[in-house]
Amino acid sequence: MTDLPQYLVLTSSRLKWAFLLIGFLIFVSGGIALLLIGDETDAVLAWVCIALFGFFAVVSLVQLFNPARLELGPDGFRRTMNFRQSSYQWRDISEFRLFQYKSTKMIQFNVLGRPAGLLKKMAGNYESLGDNYSMKPQALMDLMNAFRQRALDSTQFR
């Protein structure tokens, strides 16, 4: 990656969130149908289905209109998801790595010098990006490592 831009903004796929929203709404509709045509023993299952998938539908709707963002810059990166932001300086994090659990691949990194709690000590003190921002995981990891390396190379000689 020799031609890296100074700044780059990536967003999560709105198409993915639109399909998820449709799927969750189908399950909500199923819960409503079960409530209307089922007997009294189905009522609890129907309400659980409506509440659970209704909540997921609301989250999908929020992500559809306010997608997760990853902003890469010369000094670090900022990720925004569900109205929460976190920022990191390139010098304060380890190299990015690809982590796979079953069929899910995600990008992880360590925040250097941050003490780990008990669970993080057991599982590894890694942060996760939480989204691949419409990129293949390997390509996103390579891009972020290139941004990090460029920043570290430029600060070594200051």
Name the token pair of 74.
Answer: 């010369």
Question: Which pTM value belongs to this model?
Answer: 0.77
* 8 Å CB contact between 66 and 83: yes
Domain regions of the chain by residue span: 14-65, 81-155
State the pLDDT at residue 150: 93
pLDDT in tens, 41-74: 888 999 999 999 999 999 999 999 999 999 999 9
State the pLDDT at residue 62: 92
User: C-alpha angle 46/48/49, rounded to 5°?
Assistant: 65
State the pLDDT at residue 122: 57
* 8 Å CB contact between 23 and 57: no
pLDDT tier at 157 (50, 70, 90 boundaries)? Answer: very low
Task: Please give the Cα distance from 55 to 81 (Å, whole number).
Answer: 17
